[in-house]
């Protein structure tokens, strides 16, 4: 038994499932999880002394690579002043202004501690602002473990085979309408059937919790129009896509302005920070200005603000995003070539520093149904073969992959070379 296996046994005795977030358990890839000791640049190192080229990046935040010196320095400097004050601080203004500078749909922004808090609060705010109750979400989109949003959700909720969770009363989800991603007719129908009752529509503008699905045929623009016509608050959940897919985030890339935006992951630079923001008129409904209550003991924590600010300041130039896009293109096209060589049915998607791998010969993959039809057995083989060769991919076929600025062309070549063995094995099945 290696050290990771020993630790997993030990962890299971005192932590449910041995993990503090389900997908980490590797249960969907039928393997013991690696216990990570440290990480640097594009690499993670496990407690058995193995190194891996990491395409998970702590599920998104590590866009500069692990333990970037600028973030590390900012965190150390911030800790010299104290850890948390429960009072306003200057770093919160710096962060708010940075976010506003890069996301033009945001006039005001409130910091929270997780993506879940951001989406939960945005939904409450939209309901408070409109006085309506119903919300629209999309099958396969994940917005954290908010009760009312855990309906046909993506990510771990998908791999565990439960479209929603036990412990959520039917009443809590009765106002959640589920539409199909990339199917505007399903949205039109939901709005028609619930006229004047829908407070908000929440969507991942690029769906990253059912693999990586891009919006097509102006889907987001059409949604914007429908929301305008029906006085529905449009919420872009950019917890994953914000500062990841493009210099201007997904909303800039697709040129669609939401009313509210949720952010997380990258804006914390690896520490717990997230945010929701939007038009002043809506944001000013929040306490203490307005009647919608929302709060947090550690919200805007100075250490998290320091990490996030250093991350954004280092990241935000157009050249970095060209670089990320080039790298994810180079990875996905390289993998595709090898798959074709071995005649393995395979497709890819990519945008900026985010990519998807699909084991399928379907012409287009644009809905949750399409993702569900991919070959799970092939994915399993691929994941395991790659991990054995030191390539750490997301342990689920429903998760997007992430590239960082620390992934050099050499590491990408190494990854593509490793895939030879994996595709060769799959071709034998």
Is residue 395 close enough to count as binding ligand PMP by CB under 6 A?
no
Query: What is the spatial distance between Cα 7 and Cα 16, in angstroms, rounded to a whole number?
Result: 14
Q: Residue from 54, 92, 139, 237 that binds ligand PMP (CB under 6 A)?
A: 237
Q: Which residues contact 337 (CB under 8 A, 6 or more apart)?
A: 416
Structure tokens at 128: 């408070």
Is residue 399 close enough to count as binding ligand PMP by CB under 6 A?
no
Is residue 368 close enough to count as binding ligand PMP by CB under 6 A?
no
Query: What is the spatial distance between Cα 87 and Cα 30, in angstroms, rounded to a whole number?
Result: 46
Is residue 143 close enough to count as binding ligand PMP by CB under 6 A?
yes
Q: Which is nearer to ligand PMP, 91 or 242 (CB)?
A: 242
Is residue 249 close enough to count as binding ligand PMP by CB under 6 A?
no
Sketch the per residue contact string, 30 through 59, with ligand PMP: x for CB under 6 A, - otherwise.
-----------------------------x
Residue 136: CB minimum distance to ligand PMP, A? 16
Residue 23: CB minimum distance to ligand PMP, A? 9
Sketch the per residue contact string, 112 through 141, with ligand PMP: x for CB under 6 A, - otherwise.
--xxx--x----------------------
Q: At what angle do helices 409-428 and 318-341 cross, to 10 degrees?
A: 30
Contact 232, 226 (CB under 8 A): yes
Residue 392 falls in the annotated catalytic set: no
Tell how strand 347-351 and strand 354-358 pair up: antiparallel
Q: Which is nearer to ligand PMP, 22 or 390 (CB)?
A: 22
Query: What is the spatial distance between Cα 159 and Cα 177, in angstroms, rounded to a whole number?
Result: 21
Q: Which is nearer to ligand PMP, 56 or 310 (CB)?
A: 56
Residue 237 falls in the annotated catalytic set: yes
Catalytic residue among 55, 142, 254, 392: 142
Q: Which is nearer to ligand PMP, 215 or 422 (CB)?
A: 215
* Residue 23, burial from CB neighbour count under 10 angstroms (0-12, 13-18, 19+): buried
Is residue 239 close enough to count as binding ligand PMP by CB under 6 A?
yes
Is residue 89 close enough to count as binding ligand PMP by CB under 6 A?
no
- Between CA 164 and CA 172, with CA 166 as vertex, the angle to 5 degrees is 70
Structure tokens at 270: 């690896």
Residue 55 falls in the annotated catalytic set: no
Is residue 269 close enough to count as binding ligand PMP by CB under 6 A?
no
Query: What is the spatial distance between Cα 288 and Cα 152, in angstroms, rounded to a whole number?
Result: 34
Q: At what angle do helices 409-428 and 376-388 cross, to 10 degrees?
A: 130
Is residue 18 close enough to count as binding ligand PMP by CB under 6 A?
no
Q: Under rule CB under 6 A, how many of the chain's residues touch ligand PMP?
A: 17
Residue 313: CB minimum distance to ligand PMP, A? 22
Q: Which is nearer to ligand PMP, 65 or 268 (CB)?
A: 268
Give the C-alpha distances (Å, rounded to integers) separating 270 from 26, 62, 76, 179: 21, 6, 14, 32
Query: What is the spatial distance between Cα 330 and Cα 415, in angstroms, rounded to a whole number?
Result: 11
Interface region with ligand PMP, contact rule CB under 6 A, candidates 234-242, 246-254, 310-318, 374-382: 234-242
Q: Which is nearer to ligand PMP, 120 or 422 (CB)?
A: 120
Is residue 240 close enough to count as binding ligand PMP by CB under 6 A?
yes
**Backbone dihedral region for residue 265 (phi beyond 0: left; psi -120 to 50: alpha; all else: beta):** left
Contact 392, 39 (CB under 8 A): no
What ranges in 254-348 are assigned the alpha helix state H? 280-283, 302-315, 318-341
Tell how strand 391-392 and strand 347-351 pair up: unpaired
Is residue 209 close enough to count as binding ligand PMP by CB under 6 A?
yes
The residues carrying an active-site annotation are: 142, 237, 265
Residues that bind ligand PMP (CB under 6 A): 59, 114-116, 119, 142-144, 155, 204, 208-209, 237, 239-240, 264, 274
């Amino acid at each position: 038994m290696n050290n990771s296996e020993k630790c997993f046994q030990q962890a299971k005795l005192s932590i449910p499932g041995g993990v503090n977030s389900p997908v980490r358990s590797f249960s969907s890839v039928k393997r013991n999880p690696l216990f990570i000791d440290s990480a640097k640049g594009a690499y993670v190192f496990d407690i058995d002394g193995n190194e891996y080229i990491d395409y998970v990046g702590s599920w998104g935040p590590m866009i500069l690579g692990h333990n970037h010196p600028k973030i590390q320095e900012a965190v150390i400097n911030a800790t010299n002043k104290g850890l948390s004050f429960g009072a306003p601080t200057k770093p919160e203004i710096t962060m708010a202004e940075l976010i506003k500078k890069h996301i033009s749909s945001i006039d005001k922004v409130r910091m929270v501690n997780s993506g879940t808090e951001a989406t939960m609060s945005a939904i409450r705010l939209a309901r408070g602002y409109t006085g309506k109750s119903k919300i629209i979400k999309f099958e396969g989109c994940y917005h954290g473990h908010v009760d009312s949003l855990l309906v046909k959700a993506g990510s771990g909720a998908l791999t565990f085979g439960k479209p929603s969770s036990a412990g959520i009363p039917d009443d809590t989800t009765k106002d959640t309408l589920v539409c199909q991603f990339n199917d505007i007719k399903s949205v039109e129908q939901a709005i028609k059937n619930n006229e004047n009752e829908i407070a908000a529509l929440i969507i991942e503008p690029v769906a990253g919790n059912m693999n990586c699905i891009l919006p097509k045929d102006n889907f987001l623009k059409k949604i914007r129009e429908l929301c305008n016509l029906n006085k529905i608050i449009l919420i872009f959940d950019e917890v994953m896509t914000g500062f990841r897919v493009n210099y201007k985030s997904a909303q800039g890339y697709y040129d669609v302005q939401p009313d509210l935006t949720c952010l997380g992951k990258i804006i914390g630079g690896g520490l717990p920070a997230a945010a929701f923001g939007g038009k002043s008129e809506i944001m000013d409904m929040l306490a203490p200005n307005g009647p919608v209550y929302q709060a947090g003991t550690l919200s805007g924590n100075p250490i998290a603000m320091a990490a996030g600010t250093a991350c954004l300041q280092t990241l935000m130039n157009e050249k970095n995003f060209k670089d990320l896009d080039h790298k994810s293109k180079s990875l996905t096209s390289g993998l595709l070539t090898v798959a074709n060589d071995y005649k393995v049915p395979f497709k890819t998607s990519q945008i900026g520093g985010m990519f998807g791998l699909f084991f399928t010969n379907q012409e287009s993959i644009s809905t949750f149904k399409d993702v569900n039809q991919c070959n799970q057995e092939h994915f399993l083989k691929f994941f395991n073969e790659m991990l054995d060769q030191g390539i750490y991919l997301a342990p689920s076929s429903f998760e997007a992959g992430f590239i960082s600025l620390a992934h050099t062309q050499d590491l990408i070549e190494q990854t593509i070379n490793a895939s030879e063995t994996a595709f060769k094995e799959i071709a034998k099945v």
